[in-house]
């Protein structure tokens, strides 16, 4: 049986709640809608850790944060960690990355035999949090309310520049693979930065929406918020600098516009597959690294296990994928075993996730749970999450426990952890957290890593810059038409479809 190609399209900071595919009445995502209409939509998919680099490292490795030290956005991703790209290479797949993956460290490939672009973010240790001074704001590189004040239209931004490069490179690679002589199946990851803040959009996407139609966040009693959300609000200056209703509406308008911009690139890549005759033999997977609170609970961005931060879209279509929706809980930890299943391989080690192929093939999935870990900024103790069935439990040593019935309370307003009717359930979850994680030991590892990386960054900054950032190769000596090539052969070779005459 011929193994399918795999096109993996990733957004950054896209919560499923803000797509028409998942029922939002305003946001327009026609291409994601079309993908879901001919494939499977997963309705309870989560990232393992709600921050860019940890979410990506755990997705690629199929391993939790504490297993690989993916503590935060400045944690090194060790070259010795097997990734889904390594596994696919072992099964004779071409592995190509276009766009963001937020690799930190000198290895900027991690199993991808080709990387078409540089990354948008740095690969060094500069963004290391400091739990020794957890109450101090990280000023130089961290989110604040400027992104709400600056939301609006622009002809271009560094993020638009980047995604235009990412999308073009991915499209060009799909065309190149259709006309070259390498007949291995491919795994192409196209990873975009939008709709990540800043919430600034090109006019054609901004004007796709009537400003008065932009819905506002649900109202909250800010005094009733959980301690971690209060810490987030302090860290991003939401409780000091603050924001106005006009700024909120502008920010959400820009976010919705950039969701549609990302969706347009998804559509362009699907069109290129169709034009090259590979749509029917390619599995397309669309997801995001994490979500964005976008003003709900008075919070912005990510960094919590609440729904708009930790849930992700996950839509799959292609050969063997039925038209369906899947309610069972799953996460990014399930993607590596899923891709190994597609490729017909075996994992090199036991993995906590499971293949989702049975779910999209119409078979029953007995598993309806996942777990998460968060060890970055806005906390000084590890945070853990268990989602099982309709219940979500969140634990942090320094905070009261949180327990929510997501089916009955999707906005997570009613913390059931202290409800006598849920006492037995909360106690069982607490015992499970104690059995699964040694929080104090993990905290010691996090702090030790932070201290080491702060020292290394000071040392690396004291001399000439030695960059780990990826430098894409461009073989201009063999591009287009050159004197050592036969022009009469170059033209027909690079034409698609081939001219039959």
Burial 255-287 (b: 16+ CB within 10 A, else e): bbbbbbbbbbbbbbbbebbeebebbeebbbbbb
Mean pLDDT of the chain: 94
Beta-carbon contacts of 313 under 8 Å, excluding residues fewer than 6 positions away, are 11, 14, 15, 16, 19, 21, 22, 32, 45, 286, 287, 288
CA-closest candidate to residue 288, choices 299, 273, 302:
302
| Catalytic status, residue 47 | no
Predicted pLDDT of residue 141: 59
For residues 388-392, average pLDDT:
98
Range of the domain at 142: 5-370
Q: Which of 17, 48, 102, 470 is catalytic?
A: 102
Predicted pLDDT of residue 501: 66
Percentage, residues of the chain above pLDDT 90: 87
Predicted pLDDT of residue 477: 84
Beta-carbon contacts of 280 under 8 Å, excluding residues fewer than 6 positions away, are 319
Q: What is the pLDDT of residues 233-252, one digit of tens each?
A: 999 999 899 999 999 999 99
CA 24 – CA 150 distance, rounded (Å): 25
* Domain-located, residue 379: no
Report the half-sphere exposure of 153 (CA within 13 A, side-chain side): 10
- 3-state secondary structure at position 205: helix
CATH no. for residue 220? 3.40.720.10
Q: What is the pLDDT of residues 458-498, one digit of tens each?
A: 999 998 988 999 999 888 888 887 778 776 777 777 777 87
Please, where are the H alpha helices in 284-387?
307-310, 335-343, 357-360
* Domain-located, residue 484: no
Tally of structural domains, the chain: 1
* Domain-located, residue 432: no
Q: Which of 52, 189, 330, 396 is catalytic?
A: 52
Q: Residue 345 pLDDT more than 90?
A: no
Torsion from C-alpha of 489, 492, 495, 496, nearest 10 degrees: -130
* Domain-located, residue 442: no
pTM of whole model > 0.85? yes
* Domain-located, residue 289: yes
End-to-end CA distance of the chain: 33
Q: What is the pLDDT of residues 15-30, one digit of tens each?
A: 999 999 999 999 999 9
Predicted pLDDT of residue 291: 98
CA 342 – CA 387 distance, rounded (Å): 26
Tokens found for residue 74: 């400045």
* Domain-located, residue 228: yes
206: pLDDT confidence band, cut at 50, 70 and 90?
very high
């Amino acid at each position: 049986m011929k193994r399918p190609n795999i096109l993996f399209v990733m957004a950054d900071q896209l919560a499923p709640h803000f797509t028409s595919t998942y029922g939002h009445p305003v946001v327009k995502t026609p291409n994601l809608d079309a993908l879901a209409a001919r494939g499977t939509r997963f309705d309870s998919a989560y990232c393992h850790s709600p921050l860019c680099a940890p979410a990506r490292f755990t997705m690629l490795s199929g391993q939790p944060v504490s297993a690989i030290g993916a503590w935060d956005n400045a944690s090194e991703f060790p070259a010795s960690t097997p990734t889904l790209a390594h596994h696919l290479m072992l099964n004779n797949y071409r592995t190509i990355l276009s766009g963001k993956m937020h690799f930190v460290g000198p290895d900027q490939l991690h199993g991808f035999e080709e990387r078409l672009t540089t990354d948008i973010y740095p690969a060094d240790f500069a963004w290391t949090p400091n739990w020794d001074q957890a109450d101090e704001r990280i000023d130089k590189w961290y989110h604040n309310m400027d992104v709400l004040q600056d939301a609006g239209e622009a002809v271009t931004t560094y993020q638009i520049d980047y995604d235009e490069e990412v999308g073009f490179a991915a499209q060009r690679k799909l065309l190149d693979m259709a006309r070259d002589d390498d007949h291995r199946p491919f795994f192409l990851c196209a990873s975009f930065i939008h709709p990540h803040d800043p919430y600034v959009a090109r006019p054609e996407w901004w004007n796709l929406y009537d400003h008065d139609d932009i819905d506002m966040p649900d109202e909250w009693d800010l005094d009733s918020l959980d301690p971690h959300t209060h810490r987030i609000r302090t860290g991003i200056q939401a409780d000091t600098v603050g924001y106005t209703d006009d700024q909120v509406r502008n920010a959400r308008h820009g976010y919705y516009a950039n969701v549609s911009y990302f969706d347009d690139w998804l559509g362009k890549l699907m069109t290129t597959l169709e034009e090259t005759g590979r749509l029917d033999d390619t599995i397309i997977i669309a997801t995001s690294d994490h979500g964005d609170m976008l003003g709900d609970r008075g919070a912005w961005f990510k960094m919590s296990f609440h729904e708009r931060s930790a849930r992700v879209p996950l839509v799959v279509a292609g050969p063997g994928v039925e038209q369906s929706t899947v309610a069972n809980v799953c996460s990014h930890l399930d993607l590596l075993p899923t891709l190994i299943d597609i490729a017909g391989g075996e994992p090199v080690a036991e993995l906590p996730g499971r293949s989702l192929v049975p779910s999209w093939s119409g078979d029953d999935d007995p598993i309806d749970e996942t777990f998460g870990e968060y060890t970055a900024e806005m906390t000084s103790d590890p945070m853990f999450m268990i989602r099982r069935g309709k219940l979500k439990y969140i634990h942090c040593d320094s905070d009261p426990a949180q327990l929510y019935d997501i089916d009955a309370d999707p906005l997570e307003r009613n913390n059931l952890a202290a409800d006598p009717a849920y006492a037995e359930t909360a106690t069982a979850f607490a015992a499970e957290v104690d059995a699964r994680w040694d929080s104090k030991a993990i905290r010691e590892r996090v702090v030790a890593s932070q201290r080491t990386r702060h020292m290394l960054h000071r040392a690396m900054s004291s001399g000439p810059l030695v960059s780990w950032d990826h430098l894409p190769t461009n073989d201009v000596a063999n591009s287009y038409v050159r004197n050592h090539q036969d022009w009469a052969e170059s033209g027909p070779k690079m034409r698609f479809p081939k001219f039959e005459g």
